[in-house]
Amino acid sequence: MRQLGDQEEWLKERFFRHRGNVEVVRQDLLRERSIDVGLRTLERVVAPLRRPPTAEVKPTVRFEAPPGHQAAGCTVTRVASHAHGSLVAMQLLSISAT
């Protein structure tokens, strides 16, 4: 793993370019950088890149309003964005109270 120490940014870019396919990254590493490393070793090196940021895994909190205090209007907005080299689609819910 010492031979991969200075390849961090290159590995990150290739990891996302190949959508997490470590075998393809390993082949690029050998072909372009002449670094021959085992698949399992490379998987351990890029493992932190597979973990989603903590802000994305927070649970949703549900709130129940008492009768007579329910929302007056709701709007759903669909948003698409690129994150970590992948297309991410979200739905945002906006609620106005009575």
Same domain, 15 and 41: yes
In whole angstroms, give the CA distance from residue 36 to residue 16: 20
Same domain, 45 and 71: no
Question: Is residue 75 in a domain?
Answer: yes
In whole angstroms, give the CA distance from residue 27 to residue 14: 11
Domain of 21 in residue numbering reads as: 2-55
Dump pLDDT digits (tens) for 67-78: 776 666 777 777
Same domain, 18 and 44: yes
Question: Is residue 69 in a domain?
Answer: yes
Phi, psi of 56 (to 5 degrees): -85, -15
> How many angstroms separate the Cα of 93 from the Cα of each of 13, 33, 34?
33, 47, 50
Question: Is residue 60 in a domain?
Answer: no
Same domain, 18 and 41: yes
How would residue 25 be classed by pLDDT, with cut points 50, 70 and 90?
very high
Instruction: Give this prediction's pTM.
Output: 0.51
